[in-house]
Structures are given as C-alpha cells and as structure tokens.
Amino acid sequence: MSLALSVRPEDPRPIYVQIVDEVRRAVVRGTLGPGDPLPSVRELARRLKVNPTTIQQAYRELDHEGLVRSERGRGTFISPEAGRDPELRRRVVHEVAAIALREAVRAGLTTEELVRAIREQDPTPEKETNP
C-alpha cells in the first residue's frame, strides 16, 4: 500500500504537523485502517524530501495520540482503536476549517463570504427547520 502524503512549503504549519494532519485525514476517510503500515521514517523522508527527524516527530505525535503504534524492528502501524475515536473526526473538521479560514483571510475574504461560498458548493440540500 502506498500512502499519498504531501506537504506544502507555503503552509504556515510546521511540516511534522502537516504530516500528522494528513494521516488523521486518511484515517477519517478510510484510506488507512487499523493495522495498516505507515512508510518507514527513511522512506517517507526521502519521498517528501524532508529530514528524517521531522518524520520521527510526526510519528511520535501520532503515537502519543494513540493513532499509531510502533513495533521495534517491524514499523509503524495504524492502531486498532484508530477508527473508533469519536474525537478524531471533530479534530479533522476543525483543522480543515482553520485552513480554509486562513486561506480566506489571505485572499481578503470575510468569514461570512467563506461560509456562503461553502454552502453554495455543498451538494446536499439544506434541511428545513420548523420554528
């Protein structure tokens, strides 16, 4: 399995945080599931063209969160509990919202304009509320 991770140098978040966020998103999407391996530190560092210490820092953070487990000599794997964490989806939603808001501010947009644009892009019909 090949994990499609990317980092953006123009993103103000540290690279290790971008990697952590990408792994979280892959778990929420179902691209990564319990027991799936992550690339080795050296392999991912080579692919992303970053220092291996950066990858180690990201993997430590993911381990601290309980999203992955490391097995000495075998590698790093998505933990069996990863898909059952109700907090994970909320965290990913907030991360995506923060990125969208940061980009909107950079573009000179207001929060209201961003929310309106998101609603216009949403393919699901709004639910009517009865007063």
Same domain, 40 and 93: no
- Residue 20 sits in a domain of what CATH number? 1.10.10.10
50 assigned to some structural domain: yes
Same domain, 68 and 102: no
Domain range for 65 is: 15-83
90 assigned to some structural domain: yes
Same domain, 61 and 109: no
Give residue 122's pLDDT. Answer: 76
Q: How far is CA 96 from the centre of its chain?
A: 8
Residue pLDDT, tens place only, 65-93: 889 999 889 999 999 887 677 788 778 78
pTM of the model: 0.72
Instruction: Round to whole Å and give the CA distance between 91 and 97.
Output: 10
Strand, helix or coil for residue 113 = helix
Give residue 125's pLDDT. Answer: 61
126 assigned to some structural domain: no
Strand, helix or coil for residue 78 = strand
Count up the domains in the chain and report the number.
2
Instruction: Round to whole Å and give the CA distance between 15 and 21.
Output: 10
